Amino acid sequence: QISTSYGYPQRDAAKSILQHNLYGIDIDTRAYQLAYFAVMMKARQYDSRFLTRGIQPHIYSIMESNGFDRNLVEYFENGDEKLTKAMDRLVSELHDAKEYGSILNVTNVDFEALYARFEEIRTDASIYQLPAINTLLPFVQIAQIMAQKYDVVVTNPPYRAVSDCCGKLVDYVIQNFPNSK
């Protein structure tokens, strides 16, 4: 409504909001799916052809790097020191990410270089091409969302005592947020 009051058509306003203003992550895959569906249906309310336009909202389920195939990551890095430094940092920081969720502090690495490598991979003929695009691209997108700074953040934190959490989470909270409850 704000956008349309400034003269934007509803269709363009919905597209712009999803592409530039709305970001979401969740540790629960089902919650992510419900949020994705709700956002897409809301956009469709303002643009009847929205679902056929290929616009993907920046809404994700957090991915962990725990099970990544080291050969796949090395293929992606391609011996490039800058890519290796960036990917190794993200893989390290997002280890057990579903355990910690949005309280993780993700470093703002050279995401442009990472995305440039994905463009190179799209034309590559390797057995790692599709796994890199299907696994590592969403991982990098999630990491970028978590590394950004936002004007407004809305959360739904779990309401439980730290003592009810698992050991890894308790240790992380005590180390990184000592003045919080």
For residue 163, which phi and psi values (nearest 5 degrees)?
-65, -20
The more confident residue out of 105 and 165 is 105
pLDDT digits (tens, 9 = 90+) for 12-50: 888 888 888 888 899 889 999 999 999 999 999 988 888
Output 121-124 pairs: Cβ under 8 A, ≥24 positions apart: 121/76
Cα pseudo-dihedral 166, 66, 97, 178, rounded to 10: 60
The pTM is what? 0.79
Band of residue 108 on the pLDDT scale cut at 50, 70, 90? very high
Higher pLDDT, 28 or 150: 28
Reported confidence tier of residue 161, pLDDT bands at 50, 70, 90: low
How far is residue 3's CA from residue 25's CA, in Å, rounded to a whole number? 24
Residue 145 near residue 60 (C-beta atoms within 8 A): yes
Q: Answer yes or no: is pLDDT of 115 > 70.
A: yes
